[in-house]
Structure 1
Amino acid sequence: MNIYIGNLSYSVKESDLKEVMEDYGTVDSVKLIIDRDTRRSKGFAFVEMPNDQEAKNAINELNGAEYQGRQMVLKEATPKESAPRRSY
C-alpha cells in the first residue's frame, strides 16, 4: 500500500520516516518530496508498505500523532489523476 504522510516538519529526513514506519512493519520505500527550486522538503512524503494490514495499522496509529512538533496526516495515497492535455 502506498501511504501519503503530510504536515511534516521541513527537517524530517527519509531515514527518519523509515524508522518510524518500520515500527509497524516492512517498508519497501520512502520518498520525501523536495522542491526543485529551493531543494527543501515540501512537508510531505510517500511510503510504500507491501503488507496492507501493517500499512492500515500504521495509518490508524499515526494519523494525528505528533512528530517533531507537528501533527502528521496519514492516509492511503490515491493515484495522481493526469491533467487533460490542452490543444491550441
Structure 2
Amino acid sequence: MILDLQEHLSGYGQLEKAFIIQDRETRRSKGYGFAIFSEQKDADRVIKELDGSVFNGRRMVVRRREPRVVNESAERAEQQSNIEESAVESNESTEEVEATQKEQSSNQ
C-alpha cells in the first residue's frame, strides 16, 4: 500500500518521503499518512489536485499538516522553536502534506 501511495504522489514533483500510519499491534492502516515534498509548489499542487479524489477506493482529504497543540504554553513554546529552527534551516521549502483518507460517503 505504501508503494502505491509513493507511486501515486511521485508524479506531482520531487517526493522526499511518504508513509502511512499503522496500528502498532495489528500493523493495519489507521487510514491516514503523510507525504513530504521538496518544493512548496509541488505540495500546493497535490493539495489542489488530489483533495477529494479517490485512492484505493477511499476518498482522500489532502491538506497541510497542522501542528498539534496541547495547551497555550505548549503553543507558545512551539512557535518560539519554529522561529529558531527557521533561522537555522537551509531547506525552508520542504512542506509536509497530510493525506487523510476518509471512507466514501456510503458509510455516512
TM-score range, shorter chain: 0.7 to 0.9
Would you identify which runs of 4 or more consecutive aligned residues in structure 1 move more than 4 Å? none
**SS where residue 24 of structure 1 aligns?**
coil
Distance 1:81 1:41 in 2: 24
How many residues in Structure 1 have an aligned counterpart in Structure 2? Answer: 72
| Contiguous gaps of at least 5 residues in structure 1 | 1-12
Q: What's the % identity of the aligned pairs?
A: 35
Structure 2 CA distance for aligned equivalents of residues 24 and 41 of structure 1: 23
Q: Over alpha carbons, which structure has the higher Rg?
A: 2
Tell me the alpha carbon deviations over residues 17-54 of structure 1, each in whole angstroms, 9 at most, x when there is no partner. 11111111011011210101211110100000110001
Distance 1:31 1:63 in 2: 17
TM-score by length of 1: 0.74
Long gaps (5+) in structure 2: 74-108
Instruction: Point out the structure with the larger helix share.
Output: 2
RMSD between superposed Cα atoms in Å: 1.6
Relative CO higher for 1 or 2, CA cutoff 8 Å, sep ≥ 6? 1
